[in-house]
Amino acid sequence: MTLEEKILDYINHHFTGVRISEMEVPLGETRMMLGFVTKNLLDKGKIVKIENSYYPQPDIRDEGPKHSQSP
């Protein structure tokens, strides 16, 4: 599992948000490395940042019902 995958998994399991400093010990990485990789995930739209915390990207399926096309 890559560091990007580990960070994404960690954030996806913390729905109340997580800061870079809170990931250092569990993931065994420096803040600098975590910040760099987390910024890449943010730029790719895989996570959301609100103030200083990172959150899982809301699933597009949660945006409401989709209309089916019936014949």
- For residue 70, being part of any structural domain is answered with no
- For residue 64, being part of any structural domain is answered with no
Position 17 scores a pLDDT of 96
- For residue 13, being part of any structural domain is answered with yes
**34-66 CB burial, b ≥16 within 10 A, e <16:** beebbeebeeeebbeeeeeebbbbeeeeeeeee
Average pLDDT over residues 49-64: 77
Query: Amino acid identity of 4?
Result: E
- Give the residue numbers spanning the domain of 7: 3-57
Q: What is the pTM of this model?
A: 0.79
What total of structural domains would you count in the chain?
1
CATH of the domain at 7: 1.10.10.10
Position 7 scores a pLDDT of 97
